[in-house]
Amino acid sequence: MPKRTTVSDIATRKGKTPIVVLTCYTAPMARILDPHVDILLVGDSLGMVLYGMENTQGVTLDMMIQHGKAVVKHSSKPLVIIDMPFGTYQSSKEQALDSCRRVMAETGAQAVKLEGGKEMAETIRFLTGQGIPVMGHVGLMPQRVKTPDGYRYQGRTDAEAAAILEDAKAVENVGAFALVIEAVKEDVARHITAQVKIPTIGIGASPACDGQVLVIDDMLGMSGHTPSFVKHYAHLSDAIEKAVKTYVEEVRNHTFPSVEYCFGGKK
């Protein structure tokens, strides 16, 4: 069995071969992605992608744990990171520790990710001091967005850029092993990547980041509206619809099932 990528492996990838990250929520997708990527992120984006929520704020700890279990069980190579959902870590350091311990114990994942910069620094320090590996997340923070028009890119002004850099350094200084930079102006994300010593994972940020992440359903063309920074590597929605239409036609025309697809039928 191949050795699973570790937090330490990722931490040493700064400035080296780019780190490949995709979101993953299910056993079938975990099996497909397993040989290819460095990190599987069980993102709270599952609330929107799988459950049709308008934002990520309705995602629960139980939901993340169930999907996390499936991804860990059906993968063997990538590092698996679980997003800590909204409301499970912001109230206190103790709440965050209880939530993270439960996630890691019940899923077998190797790390957690939580959103926030300097305001979350002491919580991250506390978690890492208790042996919880933490990936940070700065720039656009989806858990704070309630409506679609709230998804705007960050770092448009000098003040915004300075604040995001301050957040990134704060997260680095308290022990996060890596950092997602989301929807941040390209030159700002490039500068942040150069200023911090931990790997940065970009999403709608910069090719200069130490790695990249996309939502799997977005890049496969299975989401409805997708962000402008997403490249469609396939259009699986079209392929699925075509297959369904063929199935419907064959059932209604009595051409499926033919006898070879029935028990006791002749081939």
Is residue 182 flagged as an active site residue? yes
Q: Tell me whether residue 58 is exposed, middle or buried, using C-beta atoms within 10 angstroms of its C-beta: 0 to 12, 13 to 18, 19 or more.
A: middle
DSSP 78-129: SEEEEEPPTTSSSS-HHHHHHHHHHHHHHH--SEEE--BSGGGHHHHHHHHH
The terminus-to-terminus CA distance of the chain in angstroms comes to 39
Phi and psi (nearest 5°) for 244?
-65, -40
Amino acid letter at 103?
A: V
Residue 257: cis peptide before it, omega within 30 degrees of 0: yes
One of 106, 115, 119, 182 is an active-site residue; which one? 182
Catalytic residues: 182
